[in-house]
Amino acid sequence: MLMQRRQPAGKPTAGLALPPKPDMKAGMTDQTPKASAPANVSFLGLGTMGGAMARHLGNAGHHLTIYNRSPARAEAWQAANPGITVRVATSPANAAEGADAIITCVGNDDDLADVVLSPNGAFSSLKRGALYIDHTTVSARIARQIAVEGRDKELLCVDAPVTGGQSGAEAGTLAIMCGGSAKAVDAARPILEAYAKRVVHVGKSGAGQTAKMANQMCIAGALAGLSEAIRFAQIAHLDLDKVFEAISGGAAQSWQMDNRFHTMAKDEFDFGFAIDWMRKDLGLAMDEARNLGASVPVTALVDQFYVDVQAMGYGREDTSALIRRLPRRKAGK
């Protein structure tokens, strides 16, 4: 999932004025949803991330339609959110009927093409000038293709992958990187603010997806370094609480360290973003790097490390389970 990272502590350079800190709307949760004018919003894809985002939209007062390819998941969502009135659609095309905005959060390029561009897809019935937002992590290519397909109906298309993980989706504090026209992103922003604390317009169609690839590269590299550091400290018989206290306030600090150091040390990985999905994302990043002629050797290496962990049977565990491939004991002991 751009993970939220704090700047390393340090003294400002003398004589330079620091800019004021932006207001990140701290303290707003799904009990205090961010206000925007109610709209007819249809949400397609009610998985771990999508289900939470849809809930925030309902709590914000939008007129919500939901759709999931497996009807049981839509039924479970309704049962878990009895205070939200929704219309349950029978197909993507049915979900798009009368919608001011359609939002998708599905699995991969093929899933997205099916729910959006197929004969019974959302674009077949979405009204002219409507807003389309996609939160799926997919290739930049299909994001650009969808934007082109939407031109004939003057649709406002935004590729808007998210980061912040399950906890960010539940709390409504996601960071969202957007690709599309300024007009499209401006139209999307009031809706996105129901579950995001940061919405950044990165560039034209496909740029949001490319930024998400950079995000996943950063996470992979950070977790690889953190895995080695924890195992190194364990083998050296250091007090891990003291190690964390010492290094988490300096240049080594990261979201991964703050949120995963202690769970990794205790081999706790039953949460968060699965390794299987991370490998999908890293594959997208490496494909795009090849298209661009960019060198990404660390990304390729960490991807192979994840292959090792998958072979051990841990593909459904959190990405921090990368540490499983490193032995706890000294080599040869």
Active site residues: 212
Q: 122 near 96, Cβ under 8 Å?
A: yes
How do strand 156-159 and strand 131-134 relate by DSSP bridges? Answer: parallel
Q: How far apart are CA 324 and CA 287, in angstroms?
A: 27
Return the exposure string of 94-103: e unless at least 16 CB atoms fall within 10 Å of the residue's CB, then b.
bbbbebbbbb
